[in-house]
Amino acid sequence: MANILVTGGAGYIGSHTCKALHAAGHIPIVVDNLGNGHRDAVRWGPFEEGDIRDISRMDEIFATHKPDAVIHFAGLIEVSRSMSNPQSFWDNNVEGTRILLSTMENAGVDKIVFSSTAAVYGTPDTVPISESAATTPVNPYGETKLAIEGMLAESAAQRGLAYVALRYFNAAGADPASELGERHNPETHLIPLVLQVALGQRDEILVFGNDYDTPDGTAVRDYVHVCDLADAHIAALRQLETNPGSLVANLGTGTGYSVREIISACRKVTGHPIPHRDAPRRAGDPAQLVAAPDLVQERLGWEARNSDLETVIQTAWDWHQSQTEA
């Protein structure tokens, strides 16, 4: 059993990971400013409301709970917002992580799992994308995540920080027990937006770009079930405990689905027609992002067990329906 400090643990991936940590016998200590997270998603350990940029508050939390390791989710994630307000991403994501790493050093905590992103690759030359691919982000969100990876590498070289940076592809789905699900405000992720149309909460789904160099002209993404992502963080903690060092690895399935394929699959699962309308491309959106997951499978023994598209959409649909019934 270990005390694991989880920044952003009231959010979508963070809360699912806290449930997985608890199931694995750990105590997740959630630190969240509730800017995007939800207090009712914190159920499996202590909650400390606070901002990772608040130095004195972070010192207090570390002194109180004495964590053995950190899982770092806290940060801004909306690509479109990063294009319109990049400075907020550098302040929240990069400066916030700098303060977190400083607090960890002062407290003698030397293990961290970091929530990175496939957005560090920008527009890849080849698909699927391996970790050796060029990192040329096309939006400030990806730029800030890549900068944080650099900070982790510097801390590893200077003071022996052990870290795993997991480059997520598209997190999707929900807890099979429907205790947790995806609820961003505003919602920007495709599957919940499509399901909101099925529920009658939106009139239609906008398809941003129908002229990409993909089989059906719409953008292709690699969707990973959020419970599989959570399991990867448990595996990363085990890796840091038994073999401290550094690892940067993709978290994806190796299979991509287009926007039109997602809409079609949602129609099948929900039984609703789900009208859509084509719209211009959004700035900062690459045509294809699909992972080569070989490294994470080899180093962490991880594989996506729940990420077939039907399971992803069915669990998300079950959770969304449970919210309308509540």
The pLDDT tens digits along the chain (326 residues) read: 799 999 999 999 999 999 999 999 999 999 999 999 999 999 999 999 999 999 999 999 999 999 999 999 999 988 778 888 999 999 999 999 999 999 999 999 999 999 999 999 999 999 999 999 999 998 999 999 999 999 999 999 999 999 999 999 999 999 999 999 999 888 889 999 999 999 999 999 999 999 999 999 999 999 999 999 999 999 999 999 998 899 999 999 999 999 999 999 999 999 999 999 999 998 778 899 999 999 999 999 999 999 999 999 999 999 999 998 75
* Residue 158: Cβ within 10 Å count: 9
Dmax over CA atoms of the chain, in Å, equals 56
What is the rounded distance in angstroms from the CA atom of residue 158 to the CA atom of residue 149?
A: 14
Whether the ω angle into residue 186 lies within 30 degrees of 0, i.e. cis, is yes
Hunting for tokens 């994470």 — which residue is that? 296
* Residue 164: Cβ within 10 Å count: 26
Phi, psi of 161 (to 5 degrees): -60, 135
Q: 12 catalytic, yes or no?
A: no
Count of the separate structural domains present in the chain:
2
pLDDT at 326: 58
- Do 241 and 283 have their domain in common? no
Residue 105: closest CA among 55, 163, 159: 159
Hunting for tokens 């690895």 — which residue is that? 249
Amino acid letter, residue 139: N
> Of 12, 141, 163, 257, which is the active-site residue?
141
- Do 136 and 277 have their domain in common? no
236, 251, 266 - which closes a domain: 251
Q: b or e along 111-130 (b: 16 or more beta carbons within 10 Å of the residue's beta carbon)?
A: bbbbbbbbbbbbebeebbbe
Question: For residue 168, what are the domain limits?
Answer: 3-172+224-251
Encoded tokens for 240: 């840091």
> Which 3 state secondary structure label does DSSP give 86?
helix
- Do 244 and 112 have their domain in common? yes
